[in-house]
Homo-oligomer: A and B are copies of this chain.
Amino acid sequence: MTGRLSIIGLGPGSEAMITPQARDEVARAAHIFGYFPYVERLSPRPDQTVHGSDNREELDRARAALDLAARGEDVAMVSGGDPGVFAMAAAICETIDDGPDAYRAVELVVTPGVTAMLAVAAAAGAPLGHDFCAINLSDNLKPFAIIERRVAACAETGMAMAFYNPISRSRPWQLDAAFDTARLYLPKATPVIFGRAAGRPEQQIRTVPLSMAKGEMADMATCVIVGSVTTRIVERPGREPLIYTPRFWNADTGQAEPEAAQ
């Protein structure tokens, strides 16, 4: 008998941002796997077994969950944000791809969630209102050179960028290097948003011009949004400014060529 593995996005961290579907999927599982801080958000029933693990153990966690599901169990794997964006869905697909036939027989369900960049963007205004990309700044699984090529390509063609996993103790310089690359293509005043705990009571949203952006302004739990050449700031008396990227692209004012970087 084959079981079921449900990969669930819990959203950015606030209870109010967990979809009913995600909640139902957690409720039906007998076993719940996930990185410690994500499983700690849940209130499991006594009949549910929680398997928390460290964030560097993604493939072990995927195998353990697939093994149980292949033996007929109803298993949940929880991620923060959306499970398909730099989270467990790809790790589980890789594990199935490389694994025994029994893994392919498991019923696999992925439940989407609100990913961090959407929560940070909402807190700031609409910085992702035009074409944009999402780049994982961790070079644990890819060379930093390809990250820099992507940052350059997006900045040059006028796309805003959301940086996930911008910095960690073992990756202290990558975010500064990404800002340096962006500075080759974007004006000094381009807004950079550092969003931490978006949507939660402890939310911190800080916006600085690209010329002032520094890696030390982020930590592991920060999602960084770098505007495009067209991203604007609307000052509002007595309120936080709005940061947004217009829907339109004017070939006159919106040229994202290096010469715009004055």
- The chain A residues found within 8 Å of chain B, CB to CB, are 9, 11-12, 14-21, 24, 82-86, 89-94, 96-97, 104-105, 107-108, 110-115, 118-119, 121-123, 125-136, 141-143, 146-147, 149-150, 153-154, 156-159, 199, 232, 234-239, 242, 244-249, 251
Contact = CB atoms under 8 A, between A and B. Distances in A.
A112 B150 contact: no
A115 B127 CA distance: 15
Contacts of A113: 114, 118
A24 B142 CA distance: 41
A97 B19 contact: no
A87 B113 CA distance: 18
A225 to B, nearest CB: 10
Given A133-B159, A153-B154, A125 B110 contact: yes
Chain copies in complex: 2
B96 A242 contact: yes
Nearest to A136: B131
Contacts of A96: 234, 242
Q: Which 9 A-B pairs have the closest CB atoms?
A: A90-B129, A142-B249, A93-B244, A133-B133, A89-B126, A16-B21, A110-B122, A141-B248, A153-B153
Contact of A141 (B90, B157, B249): B249
Contacts of A133: 131-134, 154, 159
Contacts of A156: 153
Most chain B beta carbons < 10 A, residue from A96, A236, A245: A236
Contacts of A93: 125-126, 129, 232, 234, 242, 244, 246
Contact of A239 (B85, B104, B249): B104
A247 B114 CA distance: 20
A38 to B, nearest CB: 17
A247 B135 CA distance: 11
A245 B247 CA distance: 29
A110 B86 contact: no
